[in-house]
Amino acid sequence: MKIVTIIGNRPHFIKSSLISKCLAQTDVKEITVHTGQHYDNNLSGIFFKEFKLKNPNYKIKNTSFNQGHQTGIMMTGIEGILLKEKPDYVIVYGDTNSTLAGALSAIKLHVPIIHIESGLRSYNKNMPEEINRICTDHMSHALLCPTKNSVKNLKKEGLQGIFTGDITYDIFKSHESFIMSKNANKGNYYFCTIHREENTNQKRLKIIFEMLEVLDHKIIFPVHPRTKKYLNFKLPKIIDIIEPLSYKDTLVHIKDSVKVITDSGGIQREAYYLKKPCITLRQQTEYPETHVGNWNILAKNSQEFFDAVRNMKFSKHREYFGDGKAYEKIIKIILSLK
């Protein structure tokens, strides 16, 4: 059996690491394609090193353009690779432009698609990720779902998903003891990341920074290049802008923070795994599970943000994301497709 795996962004490199390592122990031949969507060292190379990923078999030359242009360049590259490699299946992860490009290229050539992290929905079609995940799910042959809720979401659309658990929880579990043994050594701080399209314009970022600057502790803010482009206004001293962090450093910083403030899907979940209160600066979330028991609060405006900063009272913390062995179920399903 031959599989082509499409990866292209920071979260893909992390998620694919475990599945690729497991596939290497089977008789499946995996060919990896890096779409070039993330090209900076601290969004790409650093994770290949940290997770000891083998160099991709193919790397598409891509520097970010507009959404359509970027996706088109990826598709042109992926199509040529699929025609040459003739795989039995294509694996795509998550909901990024690389995911969509991989799925579209595969389905046009009648190559069945395995979608890992299927079925998540924000029900906001203004988000590029929502379009990417809906389209990818409707093109995929195997829909592998991180949560039971994502299986239900698919059912509403007439699709049948399989609950496997969340691969990001598996990866967290395998690093947990290391993360718990390290300290960020930065005193009291909020840990903040912002990179979603809806938050990355100057007007919105100014509003976010006005909220952050009146907090009672400093804010450690690893900045995504997309966000950095808009930070050409005077930044409050309380905000410590740093370069993007590695996976382990990110998790250690989350663990040692007072609270997490984010718009990232990955960090919402990682804060939950670490039982760290999280405030999500978005209108919706794909992870309603993290809101049960108030571990994660959606702050749609300044009032909701300050209410969340002051009063977060938590209750039940549950294992919504599987048993830390999603990879075993995923590999079993892949092998059963032979």
Interface with ligand UD1, residue 39, by CB under 6 A: yes
Interface with ligand UD1, residue 263, by CB under 6 A: no
Catalytic residue among 34, 38, 195, 253: 195
SS (H, E, C) 66-125: CHHHHHHHHHHHHHHHHHHHCCCEEEEECCCHHHHHHHHHHHHCCCCEEEECCCCCCCCC
Verify whether residue 38 is a known catalytic residue: no
Task: Identify the residue among 138, 182, 186, 226 touching ligand UD1 (CB under 6 A).
Answer: 226
Residue among 195 and 255 whose Cβ is closer to ligand UD1: 195
Nearest-approach distance from CB 307 to ligand UD1, in angstroms? 26
Answer positive or negative: Cα dihedral of 79, 80, 81, 82. Answer: positive
Q: How many chain residues are in contact with ligand UD1, going by CB under 6 A?
A: 17
Residue among 39 and 306 whose Cβ is closer to ligand UD1: 39
Q: Is 135 helix (H, G, I), strand (E, B) or coil?
A: helix
Interface with ligand UD1, residue 225, by CB under 6 A: yes
Could you tell me the two tokens for 294? 């108030």
Question: What spatial distance separates the first Cα and last Cα of the chain, rounded to whole Å?
Answer: 6
Interface with ligand UD1, residue 10, by CB under 6 A: yes
Task: Identify the residue among 15, 115, 121, 195 touching ligand UD1 (CB under 6 A).
Answer: 195
Nearest-approach distance from CB 16 to ligand UD1, in angstroms? 14
**H-state helical runs in the chain:** 10-24, 45-50, 67-85, 97-108, 128-139, 148-156, 167-181, 202-212, 225-228, 247-256, 265-273, 302-310, 326-336
Interface with ligand UD1, residue 96, by CB under 6 A: yes
Q: How far apart are CA 78 and CA 81, in angstroms?
A: 5
The CA-CA-CA angle for residues 231, 236, 238, to 5°, reads 120
Interface with ligand UD1, residue 72, by CB under 6 A: no
Contact stretch for ligand UD1 (CB under 6 A) within 5-13, 157-165, 172-180, 185-193:
5-13
Strand pairing class (2-7; 89-93): parallel
Q: How far apart are CA 46 and CA 49, in angstroms?
A: 5
Site string for ligand UD1, 104-143 (x = CB under 6 A): ------------------------xx--------------
Residue among 112 and 128 whose Cβ is closer to ligand UD1: 128
Task: Identify the residue among 32, 97, 105, 285 touching ligand UD1 (CB under 6 A).
Answer: 97
Residues 6+ away with beta carbon under 8 Å from 324:
165, 169, 170, 172, 173, 174
Task: Identify the residue among 34, 38, 218, 269 touching ligand UD1 (CB under 6 A).
Answer: 38
List residues with catalytic annotation.
195
Q: Which residues bind ligand UD1 (CB under 6 A)?
A: 9-11, 37-40, 43, 64, 95-97, 128-129, 195, 225-226
